[in-house]
A and B are shown apart, each in its own frame.
Chain A
Amino acid sequence: MVPSPFYPRQSALSESMDWTRWNGYYAPQSYQLQHENEYHTIRTAAGLIDISPLFKISVTGPDSLALLNRIVVRDLSRLKENRVAYVVWCDPDGFVLGDGVVMKQDSETFFFMCNDPTCAWLQKHATNLNLTITDQTETIAGVALQGPCAAKILSHAGIKNISDLKYFGAMSTSIHGSQTWISRSGFTGDLGYELWFPSDQALSVWDTLVESGTGFGLRATGLKALDVCRIEAGLLEQGVDFQNASHMLTRAQKSTPFDLGLGWMVHLDRDPFVGQSELRKKQNSRYTAIGLEIDWNQTRDLYESRGLPPALPVEAWSSSVPLYRDHARQHQVGYATSGTWSPILKKYIALATIEKSYRSDSVQIELAVEHERHCVDAYIVQPPFYDPPHKRAPAA
């Protein structure tokens, strides 16, 4: 285990001493004793989230586009310079290995961020290609600045043209003298940016951001708050909502992009890419990803009948919960993979995988109340649950 480049600042802030492990790094679950205020910070001001533990790979050279296009299911030849794209990639059987974000820094350079080690996978497919793959996981640090005040803070930090940066756009700039790549993207479904800069400059960039953000309510926020936000934003998390197929033993544990509702991303009619032929066959997937809104009145009544106030998950949960067609729990039609109470929507929401053939607009979700299992209605909706206009709109 290694500390993140921001560890000196993080440990000073950590009141709760609540750390978790993320790709071999110590990562704060929350800084405060309860993560709730951190969540509200992201939704009302701006949160500063350490994302350095992500794997960062630089692919550069004349053939870099060819390599990436061979790996990911999405056709990246359409990706312009200074843009980022969300991508997944599959094994030869068409099962998802991982997801990540690709930033096209110039015509021959791509910056690749993902949640599982992927360098070897890239190397394996780079035979005879004219390019260099560099693992920058340790040399590049990253923070996400997420929340409605994010643009103002960056502007205050001296990046005057930040408001020109469009949704999923990227730019190269400098913060406090550090060469920094900024992309307007994130895992919260809010206005937000992700910043990448050399690890040895990490503390000075952090300090600059914190100083610029004081007047805008900026606070460091942990992963628990982020988790609530990402479910509200309807974003899937690898290892929670789907698994890396290379780690899985059985067919049922793996998913195709179509199972995850990511069919829109799969560009089949192009040069071969890993999994292409199998994906062609698997287009009619059995499952699809959906959002659920769990009926509040029934949930409350269930608790009331036990003399309890309704217990809401104060933290996002991430465990498989069965979904049934019927109240008697005879026919399972899917499973919810993560869920949370959404403070901003005032709804109990979950992300789920469900049989495509299931036609009704609601399912029965299992709910344990006081050691007993019950079922309540959950309504099928299309994520994102929370999609504020300022996520995409020109940043003020």
Chain B
Amino acid sequence: MSSSWDAVIIGGGHNGLVCAAYLARAGHKVLVLERREVMGGAAVSEEVFPGFTFSVASYVISLFRPRIIRELELAKYGYQVIPMDCAFQPLHDQRGLARWSDADRTYSEISRYSRHDAENYHDFKRTLTRLGRIAAQVISRPAPTGFSLQDLRTHTEMLPLIRDLEPHELQQLVRLLTLSAVDFLDEWFESDILKAPLSASGIIGTFQGVRSPGTAYVLLHHYMGELDGAFRSWGFARGGTGSVSLACAKAAQAHGAVIRTEAEVTQVRVRNNRATGIVLAGGEEISARRIISNLDPRRTLHGLVGAVHLPEDTVNALAHFTYRGSSGKVNLALDGLPDFTCRPGIGDHLRGDIAIAPSVDYLEQAFDEAKYGAFSSRPFINAVIPSLTDPSIAPPGKHVISCFVQYAPYDLAEGHEAWSLQREAFGQTVLDTLEEFAPKLRDHIEHMQILTPLDLERDFGLTEGNIFHGELSLNQLLFQRPAWGMAGYRTPIRNLWMCGSGTHPGGGVMGASGELAAKALLRERI
């Protein structure tokens, strides 16, 4: 069977699986190789403790491209996302702030802090939605790689969108690219309480503070999500994020793709600057006409290919591609629900995302410690309780809390290996922080899973624990992702392609990299 594969895909993350499904759908013989025993990469659901299913790494869905859902008929294979209705921000005084999908309700919540902001909030959302539409167009197309004919088409298609913008919106777009999240929000809002959770979306997964230039752009990412045709924010995948990957896997299998788990690829065979096949950990060799890597650029090219096979400028470019993981995860299995002091009881405010971001300064201070190689002693936490919406992932009456924690810099002052020693302290810090707002949370904890950036790297192959396969900074986006000249999903090695989040348009459970890589491959008539 060995030489008959049209394409071998290294890594069964959601992008690899989307890519496999598209290629298989076009009639190619595709083999997906996954190192772990479960599919999904970082978009995975695992029953970590009996009865409790965690979305171990990635925990919410919004950016998954609707086009992929339709073209691969993922709904048929079990893709189901339940939108979140609320974004709740507990505070020490008053009732905390909850922003709802209902505009009137949100207005009255915000106007308790500032009527000015409550009025501007609507305009803010509208503007970002309009700009987000442009960004959504950008991420659904291949990035321009230079001045080719294809690029010209890409540019021309974008023109009407840009022309549609009012002059001041165009100005906002340019400002978004360079401003800090807080500076951008300052232009709309006066209340620190509102600005804090909004600005927090600008730092997710990056090693920057809310006042660092360039973070405003990431805000936009939160307004280009599309769920059920509405441009809006986030939702839970039923059965955990892994069910999105499984739906992709089923779609791929339905079209004839073969998926092998516990098949770790250790090497890509290269002869005469041409990839000919891969070598598995056990020594088994599989040859294929195309090799497509779902791993990040460093792991693919340095790890599997080896620098000796690469041209000098690629080696340089890879060296300058930054990862700098800044976040960790703490997953809790509970026998009850957290009770927030500011808004006691079990209400709908627990059903959405819960952000521990009481003020802008709190977030900036959390970053301060990270700059000098320590995890934040009072970190930004984004917690969700998916079991409230989807009871299938926990035993009856019990719950799962998934906490995204920032900052947890990969490079501790003591070196990244020191994470093994600080893991427990990190987990306790997270609990301490949560208990500031929801006392006695510890009483409910049955199990706890702590994932430091080092764990993310070891378990999920996320280099330096970066959840996006490389920072989403302006110099690593679009035609520069992962490097100038490599944006077309190709690598300098012929027949070796990439389809992971390290390629345009980047991270988040979007599937766009996998889709665009597959479509680029299919244009080549492999």
Contact = CB atoms under 8 A, between A and B. Distances in A.
A225 interface: no
10 contacts: A32-B85, A33-B102, A40-B82, A44-B80, A45-B389, A214-B397, A215-B391, A215-B398, A216-B391, A217-B388
A355 B129 CA distance: 42
A179 to B, nearest CB: 27
Given A32-B348, A312-B230, 8 more contacts: A33-B104, A44-B389, A149-B391, A216-B396, A217-B388, A314-B230, A341-B229, A346-B75
A148 B392 contact: yes
Contacts of B226: 309
Interface string B83-119: 1010000000000000011101100000000000000
Given A40-B83, A309-B229, A45 B390 contact: yes
A370 to B, nearest CB: 14
Nearest to A39: B82
B392 A215 contact: no
A44 B237 CA distance: 10
A311 interface: yes
Interface in A301-333: 307, 309-312, 314
Given A40-B82, A43-B80, A34 B101 contact: yes
A211 B229 CA distance: 35
A309 to B, nearest CB: 5
Interface string B139-166: 0000000000000000000000000100
Nearest to B102: A33
7 tightest A-B CB contacts, nearest first: A215-B397, A215-B396, A312-B229, A217-B391, A33-B102, A40-B82, A346-B75
A343 interface: yes
A44 B102 CA distance: 22
A33 B395 CA distance: 29
B76 to A, nearest CB: 8
B102 A34 contact: yes
B502 to A, nearest CB: 28
B229 A44 contact: no
Interface string B202-236: 00000000000000000000000010111100000
B396 A310 contact: no
Give the size category of B's interface with A.
35 or more
Contacts of B389: 37, 40, 44-45, 217
A26 interface: no
Contacts of B351: 37
A156 B396 CA distance: 10
Interface of B: 66, 69-70, 74-75, 79-80, 82-83, 85, 100-102, 104-105, 129, 133, 164, 226, 228-231, 238, 348, 351, 388-392, 395-398
A296 interface: yes
A347 interface: yes
A44 B392 contact: yes
A149 to B, nearest CB: 6
B105 A33 contact: yes
A345 interface: yes
Contacts of A34: 85, 101-102
Contacts of B231: 309
A104 interface: no
A224 B485 CA distance: 52
Interface in A68-122: none
Contacts of B74: 346
A20 B14 CA distance: 44
A278 interface: no
Contacts of A347: 75
A215 B70 CA distance: 34
A262 interface: no
Contact of A33 (B100, B228, B398): B100
Contacts of A310: 229
A2 B124 CA distance: 45
A36 B82 CA distance: 9
Given A36-B83, A45-B390, A312-B229, A346 B70 contact: yes
A230 interface: no
Nearest to B239: A44
B396 A44 contact: no
Contacts of A311: 229
B101 A307 contact: no
Interface string A129-160: 00000000000000000001100100010000
Contacts of A312: 228-230
Contact of B238 (A37, A44, A215, A345): A44
Contacts of B390: 44-45, 217
Nearest to A386: B75
Contacts of B133: 309
A396 B229 CA distance: 34
A344 interface: yes
A347 B74 CA distance: 11
Nearest to B388: A217
Nearest to A299: B229
Interface string A35-59: 0110010011100000000000000
Given A148-B392, A216-B396, A309-B133, A44 B228 contact: no
B180 to A, nearest CB: 28
A247 to B, nearest CB: 35
